[in-house]
Amino acid sequence: AETGSLSIVLLGASGDLAKKKTFPALFNLYRQGFLNPDEGHIFGYARTKISDDELRNHIRGNLVPGKGASGEQLEEVSKFLQLIRYVSGSYDSEEGFQLLDKEISKHEFSKNTKEGSSRRLFYLALPPSVYPSVCKMIKNYCMNKSDLGGWTRIVVEKPFGKDLDSSEQLSAQIGELFDEQQIYRIDHYLGKELVQNLLVLRFANRFFLPLWNRDNIDNVQIVFREDFGTEGRGGYFDEYGIIRDIIQNHLLQILCLIAMEKPISLTPEHIRDEKVKVLQSVLPIEDEEVLLGQYDGYTDDPTVPDNSNTPTFATMILRIHNERWEGVPFILKAGKALNSRKAEIRIQFKTVPGQKQGRNEIVIRLQPSEAIYMKVTVKQPGLEMSTIQSELDLSYQQRYHGVTIPEAYERLILDTVRGDQQHFVRRDELKAAWEIFTPLLHRIDNGEVKPIPYRPGSRGPEEADQLLERAGYVLTHGYSWVPPTL
């Protein structure tokens, strides 16, 4: 492992993402010993003029583990907060970034790290409109000190543009300043435990290898549901909509992992090569295979225009034109303000000839209640000979007692420090992803495709279920999986 000074710089430190996700993830890494206080320093940078302590107080609430926090836990939080320094400045100010560099350098030369190393991680928790200017400032004033060795890396968050052109433009601007090896594009779904399990499940099990194709699988569903609306984020959301917010990134990344061929090796480049191939094999999306929705009351938000055409719900079918998947619909479905919160992958197999009981399915439940379960037909226990649907169930809480599943951001930030790009989106992957959705997005933006209203707290527009049926999905009546309780 590398040693010497490590500086994690959080740009946009006073914002929402930093407070809710990034700082808590850093704290968890610190708690588990991954941020050695002799080496690691955290810097917050933002425009707001506040003191170190004001920033610390601003984020403290999200670190303390709720009411009954013990004295020990509170002490841990305080120690962590002491690692944080704050620098204020604007995102295009030379003085601001010179000052930031000075602060970082101080620690790099401190006596504790005389080994000498200058590892600098810049996390842009910022709107993408300022990425180019911030990257330029970093490049001009804040690069790691080459005589000390180390590296400089940049972490960016979606939205990476709004369509193919804007995204390519952004990629080109950042690409002029940093090498692809220095750029970490986060899709936090790639940090989820069960998403990270997908390749293991697929390629390390004899059960699945021969069945994973069009001869056996009838359809695949990748579903994201939230039981709350766009509260407080209406302005951001209305510009992007559910396809850009969830489907083009989170669900599409999952599709890649389900559909890709076995990579030559488990190195990041080989894995990402295979993902790109899948994306490039996706056919243009047909209008009659898209169903959009917008929940009633969405436009009541003062930051959302009354005539907004932005979808808050979408079901659509993607078709992969290759030998393995020809004819198998990949149904992507995402919605806000629905009746439940969950994310899952549902792989439905073809009917067994003569069997009326219902189809086999493998369901990978990403959240909540992480689980992998297989729906199987068995004999109903008892004297009669009749069959029922049941399940083989690997529920994580039950099987892995006392194991805490790490937060996605925690894992991904650790990867950036370790220099592992496997779970980050490569530039050509991003481009291929935008190529799939841009024509549809433009039609929506122009008002040519319209969302159907649905009631908040419902399952979404009924027409979406009809689309599913047309795609060949067969619902098993009278069966539902209940997450086991301890």
Beta strands in 145-196 (DSSP E): 151-157, 183-186
Nearest residue (CB) to ligand BG6, 212 versus 224: 224
Alpha-carbon gap, residue 445 to 468, rounded angstroms:
25
Chain residue at closest Cβ approach to ligand BG6: 245
CB 192 within 8 A of CB 367: yes
Residue 470 CB, nearest approach to ligand BG6 (Å): 28
**Under the rule (CB under 6 A), what is the footprint of ligand BG6?**
188, 226, 245, 343
Q: Is 250 a catalytic residue?
A: yes
What is the radius of gyration, based on Cα positions, of the chain?
A: 24
Alpha-carbon gap, residue 332 to 341, rounded angstroms:
16
CB 336 within 8 A of CB 226: yes
**Tokens (6 digits) for 391:** 């399940």
Alpha-carbon gap, residue 124 to 409, rounded angstroms:
14
Strand pairing class (387-395; 371-379):
antiparallel
> What length does the chain have?
486
Residue 343 CB, nearest approach to ligand BG6 (Å): 6
CB 48 within 8 A of CB 88: yes
Backbone angles phi and psi of 419, in degrees to 5: 80, 30
Catalytic residue (one of 58, 188, 250, 423): 250
Amino acid at 456: P
Nearest residue (CB) to ligand BG6, 164 versus 343: 343
Residue 176 CB, nearest approach to ligand BG6 (Å): 27
| 3-class state of residue 221 by DSSP | strand
Q: Give the CA count within 13 Å in the CB-facing half-sphere of 403.
A: 10
Alpha-carbon gap, residue 169 to 171, rounded angstroms:
5
Nearest residue (CB) to ligand BG6, 245 versus 370: 245
Burial class of 172 by CB neighbour count within 10 A (0 to 12, 13 to 18, 19+): exposed
Alpha-carbon gap, residue 12 to 89, rounded angstroms:
10
Note if the bond before 159 is cis, omega within 30 degrees: yes
Backbone angles phi and psi of 269, in degrees to 5: -70, -40
Which of the residues are catalytic?
250
